[in-house]
A and B are shown apart, each in its own frame.
Chain A
Amino acid sequence: MTVFNGKGVYGAVACGKISVFKKRDAAVKRYHIEDAAAEQQRVEKARAAAAEQLRQLYSKALREVGETNAQIFEIHQMMLEDEDYNDSINSIIASQLVNAEYAVALTADNFAEMFSAMDDSYMQARAADVRDISNRIIANLTGAAGESGGVEGKSIICADDLAPSETVSLDKDKVLAFVTAHGSTNSHTAILARSMNIPAVIGVGEEFMAAAEDGAECIVDGFTGEVFLHPDEETKARLAEKQRADEEKKRLLQELKGKEDVTLDGRRVRLYANIGSVDNIGAVLLNDAEGIGLFRSEFLYLENSDYPTEEQQFTAYRRVLESMAGKQVIIRTLDIGADKQVDYFGMKKEENPALGFRAIRICLKRPEIFRTQLRALFRASVYGELGIMFPMITSVSEVEQILAICEDVKAELKAQGIDYSDKIEIGIMIETPAAAVISDRLAPLVDFFSVGTNDLTQYTLACDRQNPDVEQFVDTHHEAVLRLIEMSARNAHEHGAWIGICGELAADTTLTETFLRMGIDELSVSPSFVLKVRDTIRRLDLSK
């Protein structure tokens, strides 16, 4: 296996056999002629033929790659008509008494050189356009026009460089990918590859063309710009998986973006995304989530070397709310302890951290930390649709204490004349068996429940998440866990609260139907799973 590196211009993977693109023979001979006028007429005829071919190419491009990208062939037609260009050809024929092919080639060199010498990468790339139209005229002069490259079947087209007209001329159904030794990301070929959705890697260097031969096995990774010649089994398997995942993702994006999360029988579900940092918002929007069902606020604490200030937190929360532009954002308060440790909290080493001093327990014992976060949250609430949820709840009294602190913080803000929204939804995590079992008593106190399936499973099955030795005893579909979720759902609805799932199980599409039948109102998953779950939801029929 040999790996070559270039620039990927369209992110996709292609595996297949190489077809080396054979240029029309560009070597032009110079010979003496007697009749300059006749030679000029030959050029005129070839130029007219070239113009007609470009008109056809323009129509083909218009259909296949759209108007913006097709324009290059309109420009090529204009270049063909350029006075200076044609004057140059005619005067070379007349003054040197040389053949038309040579006059065109020489003119092409001169103009291409002018563009290459410009200090602007866009204009430098135009040199390729001049050569492209010139080669077309020459091909018409020599009668070589119409011959296509030696492409057989679906293959990876490899060439020193591809002119835009060559790129578009190729039968799209036969092209798996483009690989060129030269070329820039600014070239029309790169742009065309992108708009034709064909993986392409350019500028892999001449060594690649020297090694590439027709029929050789090859993998093109348009994401990384890598080209694998004679790939080994491991690389093949890895890239095949990458290709599969990518194609699935693109299919989902294309089919499901902007679509509603509704089952065939009309049941609507809110499909939200989980994020752990402000930086993930792009992924949330890209994957078209309806909101954020779990925003882990820990990153603010983990990234800092001291307690994050109210202002720091306010800025982050405000940014998320503003970015989501009116879509609901549920922020979970500090969930530190257990597997997430922060030095400056100065916590003691625990025998059993999962059952130890963590999350809401820290907040209730050290209210100054909690109050800072709540103040920041309430202040940010005016910038969007905020929901606040509290982790690791086990009792009614914890929730009552939390609500009392919230009221106190609100009163304090009010006294200071600071605005907060009166539409904030308050919820709790159902992640301990205790909370699920007394969910009938918790539901009246809150607006919503959110089931944290990872912790709920760990506590219900008494299996430490961090201990690989007990992994075989963790049955994520365990009936006990599912019954606790069902119980919580029933109790939530009985008391006018809604219920969501934000743990990893929410993205398990083999359970989507089970959850919807339980009456789960919202599923919150990693951004990359949103469309996969949407796909599942839209295929379900709960009436059956």
Chain B
Amino acid sequence: MKTFSYTIKDEIGIHARPAGLLAKKAKEFQSTITIEKDGKSASAAKLMMLMGLGVKGGDTVTVTVEGADEEAAAAAIEEFFKANL
């Protein structure tokens, strides 16, 4: 299992567009990718739930990756956060 934390820099947070892209990215991997904020969590592959977390700029999220390709998936998702959020 791989875990990392990230503080959102984008002012609006995980809004529709990045959520959509993140979900797309997450589906590329076999591993289960979970985003957690303040005790609420959602699968990164699920667009609506992801948006439902209501992650805003300044919020810190914890990302957990578990599965066969967790190494690559964690790296890719972290990369995605840095580039888009």
Contacts and interface: CB of A to CB of B under 8 A. Distances in A.
Given A120-B54, A120-B56, A123-B54, A75 B49 contact: no
Most A C-beta atoms less than 10 A away, residue of B16, B24, B45, B46: B16
A79 B52 CA distance: 13
B20 A118 contact: no
Given A82-B48, A83-B45, A122 B12 contact: yes
A123 B52 CA distance: 8
Contacts of B16: 72, 75, 126, 129
B77 interface: no
A120 B55 CA distance: 10
Most B C-beta atoms less than 10 A away, residue of A83, A115, A118: A83
Contacts of B37: none
A71 interface: yes
A77 B48 CA distance: 12
Interface in B35-69: 45-49, 51-52, 54, 56
B17 interface: yes
A357 interface: no
A78 B54 contact: no
B9 interface: no
A122 B48 contact: no
Contact of B46 (A72, A82, A120, A129): A82
B76 to A, nearest CB: 18
Interface string A218-257: 0000000000000000000000000000000000000000
B20 A75 contact: yes
A529 interface: no
B54 A119 contact: yes
Given A115-B52, A119-B54, A83 B20 contact: no
Interface string B16-27: 110110011000
Interface string A118-133: 1110110010011000
Contact of A79 (B15, B48, B56): B48
A113 B48 CA distance: 12
Dominant secondary structure of chain B at its interface with chain A = helix
Interface in A72-88: 72, 74-75, 78-79, 81-85
Interface string A146-158: 0000000000000
Nearest to A79: B47
Contacts of B15: 122-123
Interface residues of B, number: 17
A4 interface: no
Contacts of B46: 82-84
Interface in A48-90: 71-72, 74-75, 78-79, 81-85
Given A75-B16, A75-B17, A122-B15, A82 B52 contact: no
Contacts of A78: 20, 23-24, 47
A78 to B, nearest CB: 4
A75 B16 CA distance: 7
A81 B51 CA distance: 14
Contacts of B45: 83
A114 interface: yes
Most A C-beta atoms less than 10 A away, residue of B17, B20, B56: B20
Contact of B51 (A71, A74, A119, A123): A123
A84 B48 CA distance: 8
A243 B40 CA distance: 51
Nearest to A85: B48
Contacts of A72: 16
Nearest to B48: A82
A120 B16 CA distance: 13
Contacts of A129: 16
A111 interface: yes
A523 B64 CA distance: 66
Contacts of A130: 48
Nearest to A123: B54
Contacts of A74: 20
A118 B54 contact: yes
Nearest to A68: B17
Given A118-B54, A120-B56, A122-B15, A111 B48 contact: yes
A84 B43 CA distance: 10
A83 B54 CA distance: 19
Contacts of B12: 122
A118 B49 CA distance: 12
A118 B52 contact: yes
A191 B43 CA distance: 29
Given A71-B17, A75-B17, A84-B46, A126 B24 contact: no
A72 B23 CA distance: 15
Given A78-B47, A115-B52, A123-B52, 14 more contacts: A72-B16, A74-B20, A78-B23, A81-B47, A82-B47, A84-B49, A115-B51, A118-B52, A119-B54, A120-B56, A122-B15, A123-B15, A123-B54, A130-B48
Interface of B: 12, 15-17, 19-20, 23-24, 45-49, 51-52, 54, 56
6 contacts: A75-B17, A82-B46, A82-B47, A82-B48, A84-B46, A123-B52
Query: What 8 pairs across the A-B complex have the smallest Cβ distances?
Result: A78-B20, A75-B20, A75-B16, A82-B47, A82-B48, A118-B54, A78-B47, A114-B52
